[in-house]
Amino acid sequence: MGLAFLIMALLLTGCESSPEPQKFSGHIMGTTYNVTVVMKPEKEKIAALAEGMHQVLVDVDRKMSTYKPDSELSRFNKLLAGEALIVSADTGLVVQKALELSSDSDGAFDPTVGPLVNLWGFGPDLRPDRQPDEKALSEAFERVGYQAVSSRILGDGRYQLNKSKDIYLDLSAIAKGYGVDKVADYLMQQGYTAFLVEVGGEIRVNGLKPGNSRWRIAIEKPVSDGQVVQSVIGITDISVATSGSYRNYFEEDGQRFSHTIDPETGRPVTHKLASVTVLHEDCALADALATTLMVMGPEKGMAYARKNKLAVYMLVKSDNEFRVDQTQVFSDLVQMQ
């Protein structure tokens, strides 16, 4: 959906006498990435490690970008209704995760909602100067519906994707998290067990940071001006993703319209949930679940989180402040700093 996942990707190290970790950064998927590796590689291996991580992300972007006309996702979107495309194991797996969550959430997560997002001006198209009319909404709805996409795994590990109608598949609400997972897997394959990987605000931490303490991650207070820390959590061996509705919006006649589109109504959400943070062992799912809960809102979203034993931290608008609501699973996983 192109949502902005608004966790402050800050490594809060404090004053420690441990050796400096090795840090890497770059640009990919229309955003930035940052990696911190605690066990500093030998000097002659640093460049190769940096290139290896970058190529992992380039490969994910090459397969799943909607901006690259030759990506697997773009080629699938060009298919006519009733046609199929064989895609890589990576793309197929991410689509499968997205479809399973779509079904489990009764459509609160829908990777085909792109036409509605674009209609409201939160996609790559120019933002309209007024709300779309009912005719435009109806036409956009015709191209939405995750049920029109199906997948099956083939004997060689690749997937066959089918579409039963003219829909537009967009994995932007899950692909960055998957990129984090892939970089984490790559680092572990190279023998590194303590690190932080961040891509566009989606984070994975493994092991302990320098000084043998938990990684400290700041969750941003959901205000539109500046960056203010709401909470700092200490975590290890987990992924974290945050979704919020407080920066990407437009206003018309004094009414604010969020970039978070409800696939059921085709309109921006209007509830009081300002941001939601999810911890999960799978960063792709943390990424997608944050979007899902943001669509559901505070009551329905928290009920879903508790039913599914998810680690969730919500900031809900209450008068002029924010009320914190979190699951017991979240409390058990973190150290509040």
Q: Is 157 a residue whose pLDDT tops 90? A: yes
Helix (H, G, I), strand (E, B), or coil: what is residue 159?
Answer: strand
Least confident of 18-27, 45-54, 106-115, 156-165: 18-27
Q: Is 29 a residue whose pLDDT tops 60? A: yes
Q: Is 7 a residue whose pLDDT tops 50? A: no
Helix (H, G, I), strand (E, B), or coil: what is residue 9?
Answer: coil
Mean pLDDT, to the nearest integer, of 59-78? 96
Question: Taking the mean position of all CA atoms in its chain, how far away is CA 261?
Answer: 15
pLDDT at 122: 72
Q: Domain 22-64+174-336: what homologous superfamily? A: ApbE-like domains (3.10.520.10)
Q: Domain 72-163: what homologous superfamily? A: ApbE-like superfamily (1.10.3980.10)
Collect all residues with Cβ–Cβ distance below 8 Å to 255 and sequence separation of at least 6: none
Helix (H) or strand (E) holding 61: helix 43-64
What are the tens digits of pLDDT across the range 283-294?
A: 999 999 999 999
What is the C-alpha separation between 274 and 314, in angstroms, rounded? 8
Q: Is 10 a residue whose pLDDT tops 50? A: no
Q: Is 166 a residue whose pLDDT tops 70? A: yes
Q: Is 269 a residue whose pLDDT tops 90? A: no
Q: How confident is the model at residue 271 (pLDDT cuts 50, 70, 90)?
A: confident
What are the tens digits of pLDDT across the range 78-131?
A: 999 999 999 999 999 999 999 999 999 999 999 999 898 888 777 666 565 578
Q: At what angle do helices 43-64 and 89-104 cross, to 10 degrees?
A: 60
Pairwise pLDDT comparison (67 vs 35), residue with the higher score: 35
Question: Is 225 a known ligand-binding residue?
Answer: no
What are the tens digits of pLDDT across the range 206-245?
A: 999 988 899 999 998 887 666 788 899 999 999 999 998 6
Collect all residues with Cβ–Cβ distance below 8 Å to 100 and sequence separation of at least 6: none
Q: Please state the domain extents for the chain.
A: 22-64+174-336, 72-163
Sign of CA dihedral 138, 140, 145, 149: positive
pLDDT at 11: 46
Mean pLDDT of all residues in the chain?
A: 89
With a pLDDT cut of 70, the percent of the chain lying above it is 87
Question: Is 173 a known ligand-binding residue?
Answer: yes
Collect all residues with Cβ–Cβ distance below 8 Å to 106 and sequence separation of at least 6: none
E-state strands within the chain: 22-28, 31-37, 84-87, 149-153, 159-163, 195-199, 202-206, 215-220, 229-235, 238-244, 249-252, 255-258, 261-262, 267-268, 273-280, 311-318, 321-326, 335-336
Q: Which of 241, 107, 110, 97 is nearest to 177 (CA)?
A: 241
Question: Is 242 a known ligand-binding residue?
Answer: no
pLDDT at 320: 82
